[in-house]
Structure 1
Amino acid sequence: MTRIRGVIFDFYGTLVRMVDPLPPSHASVFERRGLGAAGARWGDQWSVGPADGEQHVAQSVSEQAYLAWELERLRTRARACGVPAGELDGLAAELDTAIKAIHLELFDDVRETLAGLRRRGLVVALCSNWYWDLDRAVARVGLADLLDVVVTSARAGARKPHPRIFRTVLDGCGLRPEEALFVGDAWGPDVEGPLAMGMRAAHLWRPDRAVDGEAPPVHGGAVRITGLAAVAELVTDPPPGPRRGGGAAGRAGCG
């Protein structure tokens, strides 16, 4: 079997979790603006972004274009909920700010795991369905020094499990699919998607996960782990030679 030469991690739920203070609810934004009835029709504030697997290449040509697309999505949904035309721009801007006011912290096993993989000479990468500023979120939680490649869906032009985002991260790492292990907590985006690309996959099911429910059955050659320490057991030592990641200069999909 081909040796694993790089490990690609999901971000939220895998390396980081949300902590207090939590983002203001969208319902509270509507109420403050006197738009309670429209807010009641709005629904789940976490479902307003692009869908998993969605491709948006034209919208990802620049940060300005992507932000404009995000705001237009919010305006379109707000209009459908009955928000008056004169309120749309201000409401969309406030909702966009609210949903991105996320405070994150690392899980306890992250830094040791990533540092250990790098000491063994493996490429360590991040691939996430996230906003444009994933690189800044990575820096805020103190991971910039432990990642060779960082790819966000906003810049890649597609969300996991679309093949485009996986090709972007593999190209950035200089890896063939069979040389990569993908680790993440979401079954479709982080397991089925990588497996379909020819990567190996580990489904992370933490005891302290934020999402309730039963773990899906493991199939397709994937494995299930309960913590990141187990990743070290899933990779073999690569042959001697220079690291294939590019450090800060080798980042893909981030500024």
Structure 2
Amino acid sequence: MATAGGGGTGAVVLDFYGTLVRMVEPLPPDHRAIFARRGLADQGERWGDQWSVGPAEGEEHLAHSADETAYVTWERDRLRRRARGCGVPEEELDGLVAELDAAMKAVRLALYPDVPGVLTRLRERGLLVGICSNWFWNLEECLAGAGIDGLVDVVVGSARTGARKPHPLIYRTVAERCGLPPGRVLFVGDMWTPDVLGPLAAGMRAVHLHRPDRAVREAAPPLPEGAARITSLSGLIPLLEPGGAAGPGGCG
């Protein structure tokens, strides 16, 4: 396998949630309980999916990503508009929005067991290791909390970049941060469009991680040219061997 100084793959960039970490109990509080404690049970029922208020896949939001204050203000403004549309009185909005914002970010994360070993082996091969994720402003903090910040060279999150996968800007940013052309970057992730189709369109190669215990149990789509599939992160290592789908002489 070529190192960062050669002509082959120089960096392996991985998605974060669903690829390296998963959510574990205790789970974030359900928004309906937050509404109900405030005497707003009916409005809580109108809210719908508590996660759907976030920015959409592929959304560009550069104007809101100037700094953490601007980004958090934008996050809370979205919650405020949604709550107001559900009939929450004006005098209740600020307290409710602050609690909803905190609850949505109160996720407890745990590494998949194979992650530290795989990241270590990638770096032993002389490869840059990157993280590229649609995440809150605190991606670096979450990496440190998971204990893998010392195994990662480049971190690119949507909040600070100003665009969410599969927007081209986020892939361009991670390639630039790696100091490599897109063709020397291998992207690994569990989500089909953000982690496979998006990187391929950006000129990268892609590996679809389709774990058997994934939260969303959909069938894996047929692989396009330039992509491979694994069922555990440890399956990435054989792909990087000479003749493997992502290694020298491979078809990827």
TM-score under structure 2 length normalisation: 0.91
Corresponding position of 2:162 = 157
Aligned length: 237
Corresponding position of 1:6 = 11
3-state DSSP of counterpart to 2:103: helix
Corresponding position of 1:171 = 176
Corresponding position of 1:26 = 31
1:193 has 2:198 as partner: yes
Identical amino acids, percent of aligned pairs: 60
Residues 87-106 of structure 1: pairs in structure 2 closer than 5 A: 87-106=92-111
Aligned counterpart for 2:140 among listed residues 125, 129, 135: 135
3-state DSSP of counterpart to 1:46: coil
Deviation at 1:236, TM superposition (A): 5.2
Residues 89-128 of structure 1: pairs in structure 2 closer than 5 A: 89-128=94-133
Corresponding position of 2:52 = 47
Structure 2: distance between partners of 1:170 and 1:133: 21
Amino acid at match of 2:23: M
Structure 2: distance between partners of 1:81 and 1:97: 19
1:36 has 2:41 as partner: yes
Structure 1: distance between partners of 2:217 and 2:99: 29
Deviation at 1:166, TM superposition (A): 0.8
Structure 2: distance between partners of 1:179 and 1:188: 20
Amino acid at match of 2:226: G
Structure 1: distance between partners of 2:38 and 2:219: 39
Amino acid at match of 2:143: V
Deviation at 1:48, TM superposition (A): 1.2
Q: Report if the CA contact (8 A) 1:71-1:93 is conserved.
A: yes
Q: Please, which moves more after superposition, 167-176 or 117-126?
A: 167-176
- Please provide the CA RMSD for this pair: 1.3
3-state DSSP of counterpart to 1:45: coil
Amino acid at match of 2:98: A
Deviation at 1:235, TM superposition (A): 2.6
Corresponding position of 2:229 = 224
Q: Report if the CA contact (8 A) 1:3-1:236 is conserved.
A: no
Amino acid at match of 1:44: D
Structure 2: distance between partners of 1:217 and 1:40: 38
Aligned counterpart for 2:77 among listed residues 68, 72, 79: 72
Corresponding position of 2:245 = none
Deviation at 1:73, TM superposition (A): 0.3
Structure 2: distance between partners of 1:125 and 1:132: 17
Structure 2: distance between partners of 1:194 and 1:236: 21
1:210 has 2:212 as partner: no
Q: Report if the CA contact (8 A) 1:185-1:203 is conserved.
A: yes
TM-score under structure 1 length normalisation: 0.90
Deviation at 1:233, TM superposition (A): 2.3
Deviation at 1:208, TM superposition (A): 1.5
1:62 has 2:67 as partner: yes
Structure 2: distance between partners of 1:224 and 1:89: 45
Deviations 1:55-79 (A, max 9, x none): 0001000000000000000000111
Aligned counterpart for 2:22 among listed residues 12, 17, 22: 17
Rate the CA distance shift 1:122–1:236 in 2: closer, same or farther, 3 A.
farther
3-state DSSP of counterpart to 2:51: helix
